[in-house]
Structure 1
Amino acid sequence: MMKERMKVSLPPEVKKYIQSYMREHHLSFTGDAISRICQEHEEAQKKEDDSIKKIVKDVTQHINGLLVKERLHMRD
């Protein structure tokens, strides 16, 4: 993986968060911590998106089932 040097300014609370993350995960470099935080965020976002898609699919199937049942009931 190619790395690029950047100079960033962070609020003090963000800097404290990154430093505590580094201690917790035994990381030596700030860039590694920021990369892992971003990766974890992406994975959490993907899980959330997948979860929403599953809910929409389940609700859609349920509604379709109700419509089929109602159509059969109306036909009788």
Structure 2
Amino acid sequence: MKERMKLSLPPEVKKYIQSYMKEHHLSFTGDAISCIYQEHEEARKKEDDSIEKIVKDVTQNIEDLLQRERLHIKKELLYMERNI
């Protein structure tokens, strides 16, 4: 569903939208704004996905490091018990 709106835009924004319309062969300003919005949302989603992947990788690395440290401490304790 589309809704008609009146917009006031700075000249540089108007030029950007007009050049976008020419570049993408669009006839209507609303279509250009919709496409720009979709591209923005896709870029934001990719950024969010990449941040989530980084957080997941860092979390996994920290868990692996903690597991190795636990095993090392456990081995050291067992070694100390044997020596006592």
Stretches of structure 1 lacking an aligned partner (at least 5 in a row): none
Partner of 1:37: 36
Task: Return the offset for 1:42.
Answer: 0.5
- Give structure 1 regions of 4+ aligned residues with deviation exceeding 2 angstroms: none
* 1:11 shift after superposition: 0.4
Cα distance, 1:7 vs structure 2: 0.2
CA displacement at 1:70 relative to structure 2: 0.4
Gaps of 5+ in 2: 76-84
SS at match of 2:15: helix
User: Structure 1 residue 41: deviation in Å?
Assistant: 0.3
Q: 1:33, CA displacement in angstroms?
A: 0.1
| Equivalent residues, number | 75
CA offsets 1:3-54 (integer angstroms, 9 cap, x no match)? 1000010000000000000000000000000000001100110110011000
What percent of counterpart residues are identical? 81
Greater Rg by CA:
2
Any idea what SS the aligned residue of 1:6 has?
coil
Q: Distance in 2 between matches of 1:61 and 1:73?
A: 18
**Alpha-carbon distance in structure 2 between the residues aligned to 1:9 and 1:33:** 16
The alignment status of 1:48 with 2:47, answered yes or no, reads yes
Aligned pairs for 1:1-76 within 5 A: 2-76=1-75
Other structure's SS at 1:27 match? coil
| Structure 1 residue 67: Cα displacement | 0.2
